[in-house]
């Protein structure tokens, strides 16, 4: 037998309903190789518990208050096996199928559970598909991001999109400016741009996306380039193509 068969697994159960958590715990009972390290009733606890227990496997409910299962995955990274659990969410289910992520439907049947568990074990050490890609394909068509989740250590912050002032690219990270603070998040500016409502956010520069609501005025700056002055005084460079985009959007709004 392989080593992994004897390995002890640490698992996390994340669901906001106690009975649902109990259900999974019960289904895990015959599996002595799996030890439930913690149960979490919400996403915040889950993020903390992941840092604390370093689980191998997480049973993650999709619909939870404040932080959804997708948010949690985004915050904990992709080197853990996740089995999603959902009652009914056609978009999420499609996303799981597309990205070949294991998922369970409530009510959870024993056979289906065993299958998912087997698959998850066999995938040990494989990376999960990126949470962002998963969340993107689980979003219903024509819908944009409503908030961004960022993590600073184990502290999780939710930034509602309306409170996002601008985004600045910094290598593999983006700095999200909101209410005078900057939050770092590991994401490319292009992938973030794709999730934002193009009627509210404009890519004014290779490294900047701005919330149109915050733009107070545009000033010329040197040859061929301009500065966007935001209502809080921030000054962002505007490239020539960025200026064209900004103008066409402002024209549309008139």
> 76 — phi, psi (to 5°)?
-100, -5
Establish if 16 lies at the interface with other proteins (CB under 8 A): yes
Please state the length of the chain.
Answer: 254
Which one of 33, 51, 65, 186 is in contact with other proteins (CB under 8 A)? 65
DSSP state of 91: H
> Which CB sits closer to other proteins, 161 or 249?
161
From the list 18, 152, 219, 232, which residue makes contact with other proteins (rule: CB under 8 A)?
A: 18
Using the minimum distance from each CB to other proteins, give the nearer residue, 16 or 78: 16
Binding of residue 140 to other proteins (CB under 8 A): yes
**Does residue 94 touch other proteins according to CB under 8 A?**
no
- 100 sits near other proteins (criterion: CB under 8 A): no
Residue 107 φ then ψ, to 5°: -70, 145
CB 165 within 8 A of CB 214: yes
- Neighbour count for residue 59 (Cβ, 10 Å): 31
Please choose, out of 114-122, 140-148, 233-241, 243-251, the segment that lies near other proteins by the rule CB under 8 A. 140-148
Least distance (Å) between residue 170 CB and other proteins: 26
Residue with tokens 């509602």: 160
Is there binding between residue 42 and other proteins (CB under 8 A)?
A: yes
The whole-angstrom separation of Cα 159 and Cα 178 is 7
Q: Of the listed pieces 16-24, 49-57, 113-121, 186-194, which binds other proteins according to CB under 8 A?
A: 16-24
The 10 Å Cβ neighbour count of residue 165 is 22
* Interface with other proteins in residues 107-126 (CB under 8 A): 107-108
Query: How crowded is residue 60: how many other Cβ atoms within 10 Å of its Cβ?
Result: 26
| 109-to-13, 112, 114, 167, 250 alpha-carbon distances in Å | 17, 5, 9, 44, 54
- Residue numbers 153-182 binding other proteins by CB under 8 A: 158, 160
- Is 205 within 8 Å of 236 (Cβ atoms)? yes
Among 39, 74, 89, 165, binds other proteins (CB under 8 A): 89
Where do contacts with other proteins occur on this chain (CB under 8 A)? 16-20, 22-23, 26, 41-42, 44, 63, 65-66, 87-89, 105-108, 140, 143, 146-147, 158, 160
């Amino acid at each position: 037998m392989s080593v992994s068969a004897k390995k002890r697994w640490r698992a996390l159960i994340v669901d906001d309903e106690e009975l649902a958590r109990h259900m999974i715990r019960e289904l895990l009972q015959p599996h002595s190789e799996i030890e439930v390290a913690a149960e979490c009733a919400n996403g915040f606890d889950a993020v903390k518990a992941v840092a604390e227990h370093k689980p191998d496997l997480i049973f993650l409910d999709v619909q939870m208050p404040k932080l959804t299962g997708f948010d949690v995955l985004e915050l904990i990274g992709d080197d853990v096996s996740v089995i999603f659990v959902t009652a009914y969410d056609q978009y999420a289910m499609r996303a799981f199928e597309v990205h070949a992520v294991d998922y369970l439907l409530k009510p959870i049947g024993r056979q289906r559970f065993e299958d998912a568990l087997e698959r998850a074990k066999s995938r040990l050490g494989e990376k999960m598909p990126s949470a962002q890609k998963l969340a993107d394909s689980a979003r219903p068509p024509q819908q944009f991001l409503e908030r961004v989740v960022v993590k600073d250590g184990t502290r999780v912050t939710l930034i509602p999109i309306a409170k996002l002032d601008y985004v600045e690219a910094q290598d593999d990270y983006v700095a999200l400016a909101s209410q005078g603070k900057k939050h770092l998040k590991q994401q490319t500016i292009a992938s973030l741009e794709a999730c934002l409502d193009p009627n509210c956010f404009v890519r004014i520069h290779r490294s900047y996306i701005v919330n149109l609501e915050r733009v107070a005025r545009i000033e010329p700056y040197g040859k061929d380039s301009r500065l966007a002055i935001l209502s809080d005084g921030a000054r962002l460079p505007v490239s020539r193509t960025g200026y064209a985009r900004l103008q066409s959007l402002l024209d549309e709004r008139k």
